[in-house]
Chain A
């Protein structure tokens, strides 16, 4: 027995060591990779953050939201508002993005929690639409057509001068590198934070809530409160990601920032393909997603068609996604926590 324990420790020590090396390499990436790679990595990391938070909601909290674009959009608009109206620096304004998402999450949850299951899903979508339509009325930020970050705000952004000198790059590239580093920090904090949350007593209670709200109630878990915690946490994180994404884009419009396809459909596909209800799943999913996008993006709507069909197939054939298949075969767990079993189909048999 003691021997087993030691091996496990060694195994996880190796994982930790490899992880640490990976993190160092990722931080050092701008020193040897080109601007295209940095932009791709920024995309991957921000999508990963969105996917992790959606997975926290749906995979662990049982709250299937189709309205995450509300938090991306509000976060992004808050950042633009802070920069344009209050003259904030874009970097600290990212925190404002998270805060704004958190603020609108409260009324959103208030309404959406009145709906159950599938209706919760569409309810969040309706509310996201409401925010999109309201923001389109905000004329100082360009109304329906949108606006850009002022040039001097992006030029004088914190750290940009430093990066320019240290890496000897132009200011546009320096901004991308800054955004990339911020995305990397956000992704690491997100994964670490969710892993931590899931391993606390709260997190274990979360699994109980997802599996059965009634049963959870009977053992004294406050299901309502857990739902709020998960919903608000996800909103905050999604808002931060939204702010960061649009800080990098530097141009915004309501239709883009509140796009259900870009900020929710893609994210759902990433999680479903990778494996819902696991931390590893979204990581695998985002890599597969990026690969598919690189291969198929030129084919326009065929690309989304393929993604849709792939998600359906995975849900039916391997509901635990690619990571589920992999960990079943190999018994591998990078982030060991209790995981979910999904499936269950309709037959007249109840076995």
Chain B
């Protein structure tokens, strides 16, 4: 039984259907990458899992329990945290307050706390009292990751954490992934950067137009397959 699973997941924005029966699974201690072009439905998939978009109860299950209709805050309390696309830091909160909000109303036990987050991303410790939005893009992304880690999640959903960042910064951020896994989290990493995704993932799903078009381990997939699954057969 997978730790986190979607079964025939669909999603709509008004009349527009964004997901058509998506099945993905994430096993304990695994890192799964989801790749796909802009508009493929990756963010919609993440938001459906995290409870921002509602589904039927069985469409999403976590740890054997159906969570498709569970509100976002309760899903987070159960152990699924998200680093949202575009970072979404709270502008009225300082760096440290942004981190602390990840533990709102709960005592969490586990590896992650302010001290260990500042070890993971030392620059955040130096800038702890700055407003979150006064930081550079890469630093903001670190805050967003730290904020999600503060709840010591069992599953971490990362939506395009490399978006808009310089290659050296991306490398810096991805350096944290092994440490996050080590501390006991399983990851779903959404990426448009295929090479980056292949490098960290145990398995890869490729999405196009609201459907999973390809899946497998990184070495079992040829460049050609991925190209087709990414852009469609016509290209």
A and B touch in their complex, CB below 8 angstroms = yes
Residues of A within 8 A of B (CB): 347-351
Residues of B within 8 A of A (CB): 12-13, 47, 51-54, 71-73
Chain A residues near B51 (CB-CB < 8 A): 348-349
Q: Give the residue name and chain of the A residue nearest to B47 (CB).
A: A350
Chain A residues near B54 (CB-CB < 8 A): 347, 349, 351
Q: How far does the Cβ of B9 sit from chain A's closest Cβ, in whole Å?
A: 14
Q: Give the residue name and chain of the B residue nearest to A349 (CB).
A: B54
Q: How far does the Cβ of A110 sit from chain B's closest Cβ, in whole Å?
A: 32
Q: How far does the Cβ of A216 sit from chain B's closest Cβ, in whole Å?
A: 20
Q: Secondary structure at chain A's binding surface: helix, strand, loop or mixed?
A: loop
Q: Is the CB of A348 within 8 A of B13?
A: no
Chain B residues near A349 (CB-CB < 8 A): 51-54
Chain B residues near A350 (CB-CB < 8 A): 47, 52-53
- B13, B71, B72, B73: the one contacting A351 at CB < 8 Å is B13
Q: How far does the Cβ of B159 sit from chain A's closest Cβ, in whole Å?
A: 15
Q: Is the CB of B73 within 8 A of A348?
A: yes
- Complex CA distance for A350 and B55, rounded to whole angstroms: 11
Q: Is the CB of B12 within 8 A of A348?
A: no
Q: How far does the Cβ of B14 sit from chain A's closest Cβ, in whole Å?
A: 8
Q: How far does the Cβ of B85 sit from chain A's closest Cβ, in whole Å?
A: 14
Q: How far does the Cβ of B36 sit from chain A's closest Cβ, in whole Å?
A: 21
Chain A residues near B53 (CB-CB < 8 A): 349-351
Cβ-closest 10 pairs across A and B: A349-B54, A348-B72, A348-B71, A349-B53, A351-B53, A350-B52, A351-B54, A350-B53, A348-B52, A348-B51
- Complex CA distance for A349 and B71, rounded to whole angstroms: 8
Q: How far does the Cβ of A349 sit from chain B's closest Cβ, in whole Å?
A: 4
Interface centre among A347, A348, A350, A351 (most CB of B within 10 A): A348
Q: Give the residue name and chain of the A residue nearest to B14 (CB).
A: A351
- Complex CA distance for A348 and B73, rounded to whole angstroms: 9
Q: How far does the Cβ of A215 sit from chain B's closest Cβ, in whole Å?
A: 15
Chain B residues near A347 (CB-CB < 8 A): 54, 71
Chain A residues near B12 (CB-CB < 8 A): 351
Chain B residues near A351 (CB-CB < 8 A): 12-13, 53-54
18 pairs from A and B in contact (CB 8 Å cutoff): A347-B54, A347-B71, A348-B51, A348-B52, A348-B71, A348-B72, A348-B73, A349-B51, A349-B52, A349-B53, A349-B54, A350-B47, A350-B52, A350-B53, A351-B12, A351-B13, A351-B53, A351-B54
